[in-house]
Structure 1
Amino acid sequence: MTYCITPLPLAPFQPFFALDDAALLARGARRMTAGTPNSAPGRVSLIDAAPGESLILLNHAHLTEAASPYRANGPIFVREAAVQSPLVVNALPAILASRLLSLRAYDRDWMMVDAEVAQGEAVETWLSERLADSSIQTIHIHTARRGCYMAAASRPA
């Protein structure tokens, strides 16, 4: 089974880049500077921010379907230098392959039907196996330790 990884779109986050710190704070966001390598994963570019790189830390609603009890939001980093990553087909970007991940499979009604914690090749296997099941529509990928949303996986269109 093939799968694709979908990053978040850049456009909704671009207005944040022009805001000063007070305006960001008023919106519940913060401008941050990446510290150590691999400490600030960008959700639009699907790459980690380099140490010293500027990011916006903000709350993002990643599951907004009103009828689902699994509605969810949480903190994400967006690199101010982000360039939109295309869909990634049949490969895990390094930002995902290098982390322990929480995988959450949803059906068409946005009900969670399966979940797993995995890393590396085990993630690819799990995604492929679950997406071979026609009852699974989408898989959300989160960091396992902090629970932050990373990307979504689905069948290619």
Structure 2
Amino acid sequence: MLTDFLIRGLDGDSFAALTDAELDELGAYWMIADSSPGFPCRVSLEDARVGERVLVINYWHHKVDSPYRACGPIFVREKALTANLSNCEVPTMLRHRQLSFRAYDSQGVMLDALVTTGVDTEVSICKLFEMPQVEYIHIHNAGPGCFSCAVVRA
């Protein structure tokens, strides 16, 4: 059964508002992308281009009161605009990566997970959403394990 879904990037305004002092306090820093793909932006859901400035910052991607609370490093392109994807649209940056899909219930408890290639993104999302108790899915880059984006039912 196919399920309509929506992939969401992070809100770019929350990163643009950070001052240099706040970035220092968080241990975050700017770097220049030296390969593409290689620096997937969690706001625009696009890979940074070679020579583009990206912020490396620790981010609470699963800030819930459960044992699955988690944070980790992410990249944010300078002046990135928040992705505005259509229903069932999959950003190109996911297509060429090995991905980990983690399905959570309304209490933030992981119910299921799977690892597959990005070309199978739609199939993986729909498979996990077959379980009615799944509220949302987090997609991670399987190799480094870092958070990529969230998926909700449309």
TM range (shorter): over 0.9
Does structure 1 retain, via aligned residues, the 8 Å contact 2:96–2:119?
A: no
Counterpart of 1:4? 6
Deviation (angstroms), 1:52: 0.5
Unmatched tracts of structure 1, length 5 or more:
none
TM-score (norm 2): 0.92
Q: Is the contact between residue 24 and residue 31 of structure 1 (CA under 8 Å) also seen in structure 2?
A: no
Deviations 1:88-147 (A, max 9, x none): 421211011111001100011111110001113322101012213211011000000001
Q: Who is 1:40 aligned against?
A: 39
CA displacement 1:14-46 (0-9 Å, x = unmatched): 123x52xx7633321011110111110000000
Counterpart residue number, 2:27: 28
Match of 2:114 among 99, 113, 116: 116
Is 1:126 aligned to 2:124, yes or no?
yes
For residues 126 and 150 of structure 1, the distance between their equivalents in structure 2, rounded to whole angstroms, comes to: 15
Give the 4+ runs in structure 1 shifted more than 4 A. none
CA distance in 2, matches of 1:116, 1:88: 24
Aligned alpha-carbon RMSD (Å): 1.4
Q: Which moved more, 1:31-40 or 1:116-125?
A: 116-125
Please say if residues 100 and 145 of structure 1, whose CA atoms lie closer than 8 Å, have aligned partners that are also in contact.
Answer: yes
Name which of structure 1's ranges 23-32 and 46-55 shifts more when overlaid on structure 2: 23-32
Secondary structure, aligned partner of 2:68: coil
Aligned to 2:102: 104
Matched, 1:85 2:83: yes
TM-score, normalised via structure 1 length: 0.91
The 2-side partners of 1:102 and 1:30 are apart by: 26
Q: Which ranges in structure 2 are unaligned for 5 or more consecutive residues?
A: none
Rate the CA distance shift 1:25–1:92 in 2: closer, same or farther, 3 A.
same
- Which residue type is aligned with residue 115 of structure 1? A
The count of aligned residue pairs is: 152
- Does the Cα contact within 8 Å between 2:9 and 2:150 map onto a contact in 1? yes
Whole-angstrom CA distance in 2 between matches of 1:88 and 1:134: 22
